[in-house]
Structure 1
Amino acid sequence: MNTSNNHTGARPAPTRVRPFEITQKLPRLQKMVFGKQLAPTRERYDQLVDALWQGDEPMDTLLDWIMEGNARERRGMYDKAVKEGIDAVDNAPQPLKDFFALVDRDPDWLDRELLEEGVGVVQSLGEFGLYIMRDQALMVGYLLSGFNHALVATGALNKGASQRTGETLKWWMDCTEHGGMERFGEGFINTLHVRWVHSMVRRHLQTRKEWDNNEWGIPANQTDMVATYLAFGSVLLLGVRLGGVIITPHESRAVMHLWKYAGWLMGVEEKWLVDSEMEGFRLLRHTQATQSRPDWTSKELGEALSKEPFDRIYPWKNTFPRLHKLYLKYEYHSHLSLTRLFLSREQMSALGLPAWVLPWYPAMTTPLRIARGVYQRASRADKRTLEKNGREQQIYRMKAVFGEREHGIIQPDKNHPAHIG
């Protein structure tokens, strides 16, 4: 038993876990706003620590079957079933049938109308929604180094921040397209692709010398997957609110419902799926009890992401090359400024970011978003038009991030733990 982490659960706590007593010490402001529930109970703490040893049983069981035989052939059957349905696979083996009987069935709680409303809300956020995902969810997440080590071990630093950001953005865009989470939508298909990659990482990364289960738990574990899916819901909503966007309680529920389904499809166990923004924020705070302090991975990943804007390519680059270069510098500084809204100087330094940055960008733009939101609500602006305009902004930004590269999600190369030779 790892008594240094004071864990009383079923298995020893990996050394990345913070002691229970530390998790109970909340800043006064957080306690006033969110109450004592922001700190995990002993039961919740032990559950999340134990979840560091838990993967995705349905996907991991299917992967065991795939790897027992002709892996390339069986992987081909899996891909065909994902894209065309299980009935498209001739004489589909029982393990494949069992897995797709699970994911093809809508969970009892799924409300597709509410989910589509969530899609509309996310689209209407426009480019600011992307800014929050990048500068709060992704960047701030790098402070939690327990999650980082699996990312680094898959070659994230070698791939480059622009490619990694583009792949994440592409998946996010697919999930937030109307109809994207229908059975044959791109969001549904690509989520199952990511689920496969996670399972392969769990299987193969543990055999590499750079991975230590006793320190980090298993790769792509339940606790880290919970934190990931909540970043797309609760963190997004908190960030846009702080940036002046008006979100109604119903819109909040719709966005959370969208990512609840995405999390379920990703392989997060139902006991970790939440319905409300506040419930999600509390659970996210509880997962931080299992995260180690910032280390070298935080600095490497944070610094790389901060410089990602310099790799963007906008359609007018060749027409106005000097202006394009100047604009990329503006984007670099505006992203840093938005991140500074959420982080202290010490945290900025831990991410390899300049500590002297001030949150000038949110200070300048937040009043405009508040005024625009008030006007739109008062004038009852057409939601579809707002969604369309916001989506166009998001597509424009995504194309710039990819530049001249193909728009796609992760395809593991020979050095990636999820590669099949």
Structure 2
Amino acid sequence: MTSKHPYYRFDEALEEYGSQAIRCKEFLFRGDPLADEAVLALAKLSSGKAVRTLNSLLNDGRDSTPDAPDALKALFDQLESLPLWVDWERIEIGSQTIQRLSLLVAPVLSLYSLPLMYASPAGTKPLVFTGNFVDRAPRRLAETSRFVRLTCQSGGLRRFSEGFKLNVKVRLMHAQVRRLLQSSGQWHREEMGIPVNQCHMAVTLILLSLGVIKGLRDLGVIFTQTEVEGVLLLWAYSGYISGVDPEFLCTSETQAESLLQLLLTQEGFPNEDSRLLVQALRTMPLPTELAGAPWFDDVAATLSRSLLGDQFADSLEIPASEWTWVVPLMRPIFSIFSEAQRYVPGMANLATSVGTKTWETMESALTTRSEPIKSSTHTSS
């Protein structure tokens, strides 16, 4: 009789997916060689020279710094090689789609995509090892929000845009986390895979692309096939910049859904760290406008349970409430909201403007919060 694996469900994945599961498991032990080598090269420079070199490469291009280490040149050779499948027209459609729906994207991220990411018992370990992983929840949500906003803005992934640069910085940050944790003597590679491995990067990428589409659809938003393909292509190129292996870059909905199910089947069940992270998301201080609304926590929990499913929500200790009637009421409203942007002159521009300003305000408020997280409602047991 074999013992249960603490972090993964390899047997279940093998039974359902066969050789694909065996192949997928290999990526738990793969990082991002180009970025990993670049981080090692930067570590050999003085801190000042490392910052100057990286900034020069980001802001002026690969040829601007002929004395840069070879590993950094190799990384920027890849970054500045535009894949043949990149179609800027279709990517712009994806950008515009997310921007005009940004008022709804934010709750889908916090109530659906992020809880699914946090459900991975091994995937959360890098956050746990860095410390204060609960109290830093507001800042982490702000950073995720900014990453999504800059990636999805019009032209956000063009070579010298802020979104492109942020994707590269996140890639190097992940490489630095891998380097530090694997050299710490505390990381159990054989049990957990390597930190920020290809499987976990792929899950994150798909939950930011297809995951957001699925969450919005569940809330009633209507997409055209062209819009869905644009969003997926946008995030596929973001994945290319961020160092996700080409095997995980999905440009079709069917492909992304199949891969997501394989990756989630491989993952273990949520553990206490997962529940603490989701609890921190749920109970972080609210904006002033909502702080006095006694119904807000219940409605948010109801939406989260609707998106995740009751069984999965129970495993994350997201409480049930009596507000279940809200979801079927919201769906036709959100359907009308999404369709009106297509047909009412000026509606899409207004929704984009209001959504962008709301996101920027939210990011600023979350970033400046310094008080510890205190639960106002449910407390994990």
- Same structural fold, with TM-score higher than 0.5 when normalized by the shorter chain: yes
| 1:417 equivalent in structure 2 | none
SS in 2 for 1:146: coil
| 2:364 equivalent in structure 1 | 402
Q: Does 1:332 align with 2:297?
A: yes
| 2:180 equivalent in structure 1 | 204
| TM-score normalised to structure 2 length | 0.88
Structure 1 residues 375 and 68, CA, compared in 2 at 3 Å: closer, same or farther? closer
Corresponding residue to 1:124 among 88, 92, 100: 100
Deviation by residue 1:253-296 (Cα, 9 ceiling, x = unmatched): 00000000001111011121111122111101111233111111
Counterpart Cα distance in 1 of 2:272 and 2:231: 34
Counterpart Cα distance in 1 of 2:177 and 2:366: 28
Counterpart Cα distance in 2 of 1:156 and 1:404: 16
Corresponding residue to 2:330 among 362, 365, 369: 365
Q: Does 1:389 align with 2:351?
A: yes
Structure 1 residues 98 and 131, CA, compared in 2 at 3 Å: closer, same or farther? same
Contact 2:301 2:321 in 1 (8 A): no
Deviation by residue 1:338-381 (Cα, 9 ceiling, x = unmatched): 1010234443343232234653442221111223445555xx33
Q: Does 1:17 align with 2:8?
A: yes
Contact 1:15 1:214 in 2 (8 A): no
Contact 1:298 1:350 in 2 (8 A): no
Moved more, 299-308 or 346-355: 346-355
| 2:319 equivalent in structure 1 | 354
Structure 1 residues 71 and 47, CA, compared in 2 at 3 Å: closer, same or farther? farther
Query: What is the percent sequence identity of the aligned residues?
Result: 24
| 2:163 equivalent in structure 1 | 187
Structure 1 residues 376 and 69, CA, compared in 2 at 3 Å: closer, same or farther? closer
Contact 1:312 1:402 in 2 (8 A): no
Counterpart Cα distance in 2 of 1:76 and 1:106: 25
Structure 1 residues 387 and 209, CA, compared in 2 at 3 Å: closer, same or farther? farther
* Residue type of the alignment partner of 1:16: Y
Structure 1 residues 82 and 359, CA, compared in 2 at 3 Å: closer, same or farther? farther
Cα offset, 1:155, TM superposition: 2.8
Deviation by residue 1:224-260 (Cα, 9 ceiling, x = unmatched): 0010100111111111111111101111100000000
Corresponding residue to 1:168 among 138, 141, 144: 144
Contact 1:264 1:270 in 2 (8 A): yes
Counterpart Cα distance in 2 of 1:261 and 1:281: 18
Contact 2:108 2:215 in 1 (8 A): yes
Corresponding residue to 1:289 among 250, 257, 265: 265
Structure 1 residues 357 and 134, CA, compared in 2 at 3 Å: closer, same or farther? farther
Contact 1:312 1:403 in 2 (8 A): yes
Counterpart Cα distance in 1 of 2:274 and 2:366: 28
SS in 1 for 2:183: coil
Cα offset, 1:313, TM superposition: 4.3
* Residue type of the alignment partner of 1:89: T
Counterpart Cα distance in 2 of 1:375 and 1:74: 49
SS in 2 for 1:165: helix
Counterpart Cα distance in 2 of 1:355 and 1:186: 40
Matches within 5 A, 1:68-217: 68-70=44-46, 72-89=48-65, 91-155=67-131, 157-217=133-193
Contact 1:129 1:236 in 2 (8 A): yes
Contact 2:178 2:194 in 1 (8 A): yes
* Residue type of the alignment partner of 1:164: R
Counterpart Cα distance in 2 of 1:186 and 1:331: 34
Structure 1 residues 313 and 88, CA, compared in 2 at 3 Å: closer, same or farther? farther
Query: Gaps spanning 5+ residues in structure 1: where?
Result: 6-13, 26-38, 315-323, 408-421
* Residue type of the alignment partner of 2:203: A
* Residue type of the alignment partner of 1:381: V
Contact 1:256 1:275 in 2 (8 A): yes
Deviation by residue 1:13-59 (Cα, 9 ceiling, x = unmatched): x8522133x2377xxxxxxxxxxxxx53x221112111010000111
Q: Does 1:64 align with 2:26?
A: no
Counterpart Cα distance in 1 of 2:172 and 2:288: 31
SS in 1 for 2:251: coil
Cα offset, 1:401, TM superposition: 4.6
Matches within 5 A, 1:309-328: 310-313=285-288, 324-327=290-293
Structure 1 residues 251 and 128, CA, compared in 2 at 3 Å: closer, same or farther? same
Cα offset, 1:163, TM superposition: 1.1
Counterpart Cα distance in 2 of 1:375 and 1:207: 54
Counterpart Cα distance in 2 of 1:224 and 1:58: 18
Contact 2:121 2:270 in 1 (8 A): yes
Cα offset, 1:102, TM superposition: 1.1
Deviation by residue 1:75-125 (Cα, 9 ceiling, x = unmatched): 431232113323333633433222211101211111111111100000111
Counterpart Cα distance in 1 of 2:162 and 2:341: 31
Cα RMSD for the two superposed structures? 2.5
* Residue type of the alignment partner of 1:203: R
Counterpart Cα distance in 2 of 1:340 and 1:243: 12
Query: Gaps spanning 5+ residues in structure 2: where?
Result: 370-381
Q: Does 1:272 align with 2:238?
A: no
Moved more, 210-219 or 386-395: 386-395
SS in 1 for 2:291: helix
Structure 1 residues 357 and 345, CA, compared in 2 at 3 Å: closer, same or farther? farther
